[in-house]
Amino acid sequence: PNSAKDGSFSSLESHVPSPVKQEQVKAETLPDPNAKILHEDWDDIPPSSALEEISEEEAIHIIAEPLLPHQSSTLRDYVDHSETLAKLVHLGVDLSQVEKRQKAGQLLLTLDFEKDIKKILLFLKDVGVEDNQLGPFLTKNPYILAEDLEALETRVAYLKSKKFGEAEIAQMVSRAPYLLLFSVERLDNRLGFFKKELGLSVKKTKDLVIRLPRLLTGKLEPVKETLQVCQIELGFQRDEIQRIVFKTPKILTASKKRLRQTFDYLHNVMGIPHHMLTRFPQVFNSKLLRIRERHMFLTFLGRAQYDPAQPSYISLDQLVSLPDEVFCTEIAKASIQDFEKFLKTL
């Protein structure tokens, strides 16, 4: 029965010794009269006894294997003793970063590369993680190596059932390494959260998390707080918040303090109305210092005009996105030297 289970289908006769085979066995066990002569010609040297005395010169040439440290604060001390760690380093995993993550170092020391890790690497490659990204991926998320392969495949199947394409899933997994640690239930709840809170369609919800997949892995409470700040403190309407978030998803993970300060300067100092900020929400991703310096320079030149109904209109996109040289020559109609000289007066 054991042979059948292993896929071995040799006949029963091959396991029953025939009389001929028995005679051969007996013949093979007969003493060889030449055995003594052959033994004298062998070059093998029997192993020496542990109590055998050796010379100092022989002792010098004995190389002892270094002992595996019983305890260490760094994985580097284990690399020379662990084939698994050595292969991970060769793959591009930064062990100095891994050991900063809670219990990640202990996890790697318990894994076997061939038995535990290789199958996860093949899975990640099938998902679409590039070879040169495997090391950085595992540096950020070593915990995936302890996940059940079937569970990981189920989560990818769920994303496919939600009409995420293979290239989109590869992009999401690469940019949000912790994504596949989330169960199907948690992923489904988070997609439902953004759809409900923002009032987005299914398609727009998908597009949102494709562009910023860490929305699915980050904490939801800060997102709720940001939405409340936009609506209650900054005074945006629900439909305006929808458009702002869809155009600039990163605003959901931005610092609320920075968000308030940027809005205050744009709206109360520069006089930009809500509907204009809704059209160019990328301005919230810019450094406030950059906005302030350029606005003050344009004001000094008498060119700070942000009303599209007026001549010499300057859009917020032009204000923050252009390099200094282009901003000076095309928007401010001045030289870069003039801009640098002005900044020294601030």
Distances (CA, A) of 218 to 176, 178, 190, 223: 10, 9, 10, 9
* Same domain assignment for residues 239 and 263: yes
252 and 299 fall within a common domain: no
Nearest to 192 by CA among 206, 182, 179, 178: 206
User: How high is the pLDDT of residue 77?
Assistant: 61
pLDDT digits (tens, 9 = 90+) for 328-338: 999 999 999 99
How far from 31 is each of 21, 36, 106, CA to CA, in Å? 18, 10, 56
Residue finishing a domain among 230, 255, 280? 280
Domain annotation covers residue 56: no
More confident residue, 269 or 58: 269
Provide the pLDDT confidence category of residue 164 given band limits of 50, 70 and 90.
Answer: very high
Q: Residue 80: what pLDDT?
A: 66
Place of tokens 């899933």: 169
**Is residue 272 domain-shared with residue 309, that is, in the same domain?**
no
Give φ, ψ of 112 to 5 degrees. -105, 130
197 has a pLDDT exceeding 90: yes
Q: Is residue 250 part of a domain?
A: yes
Question: By residue range, what is the domain housing residue 296?
Answer: 286-345
Q: Is residue 8 part of a domain?
A: no
> Can you tell me the mean pLDDT for 191-199?
94
15 in any annotated domain: no
C-alpha span between 213 and 243 (Å, rounded): 18
The band of 83, judged by pLDDT with boundaries at 50, 70 and 90, is: confident
Res 115: pLDDT: 94
- Helix, strand counts (H, E) of the chain: 21, 0
Q: Given phi > 0 = left and psi -120 to 50 = alpha, else beta, which region is 101?
A: beta
Q: Cα(278)–Cα(266) distance, rounded to whole angstroms?
A: 12
pLDDT at 84: 85
Spatial separation of the C-alpha atoms in residues 252 and 220, rounded to whole Å: 10
For residue 31, the model assigns a pLDDT of 44
Do 108 and 88 form a contact (C-beta atoms < 8 A)?
Answer: yes
Which of residues 280, 297, 319 is at a domain's end?
A: 280
Residue 144 half-sphere exposure toward CB, CA atoms < 13 A: 27
| Of 215, 186, 214, nearest in space to 200 by CA | 215
Distance CA 180, CA 164 (A): 14
The CA R_g of the chain, rounded to the nearest whole Å, is: 35
Amino acid code (one letter) for 230:
C
Q: Is 84 in contact with 112 (CB distance < 8 Å)?
A: yes
Tokens of 146: 């302890």
Domain assignment of residue 31, yes or no = no
232 lies in the same domain as 276: yes
* Counted domains in the chain: 2
Mean pLDDT of the 271-285 span: 96
In a domain, 82, yes or no: no
pLDDT digits (tens, 9 = 90+) for 87-144: 999 999 999 999 889 888 889 889 999 999 999 999 999 999 999 999 999 999 999 9
Helix axes 288-301, 256-263, angle to 10 degrees: 10
Please give the model's pTM, rounded to 2 decimal places.
Answer: 0.72
More confident residue, 46 or 325: 325
Q: How far apart are CA 338 and CA 294, in angstroms?
A: 12
Say yes or no: 307 and 266 in one domain: no
Look-up: residue for tokens 């006894």?
Answer: 49
Q: What percentage of the chain exceeds 90 in pLDDT? A: 69
Task: Region of 304 please: left (phi>0), alpha (psi -120 to 50) or beta.
Answer: beta
CA distance 142 to 169: 19
pLDDT given for residue 106 in this prediction: 86
Same domain, 275 and 290: no
What type of residue is 286? S
Task: Tell me if 230 sits within 8 A of 262, measured CB to CB.
Answer: no
For 12-37, what is the mean pLDDT? 42
Local confidence band at 301 (pLDDT 50, 70, 90 cut-offs): very high
- How high is the pLDDT of residue 3? 42
Q: Is residue 32, in this structure, part of any structural domain at all?
A: no
One domain for residues 290 and 333: yes
Question: What is the per-residue pLDDT across 234-255, written as a single tens digit (0 to 9) for each?
Answer: 999 999 999 999 999 999 999 9
Indicate if 331 and 300 belong to the same structural domain: yes
Please say which residue of 254, 280, 306 terminates a domain.
280
| 110 within some domain | no
Q: In the predicted model, is pLDDT for residue 14 greater than 50?
A: no
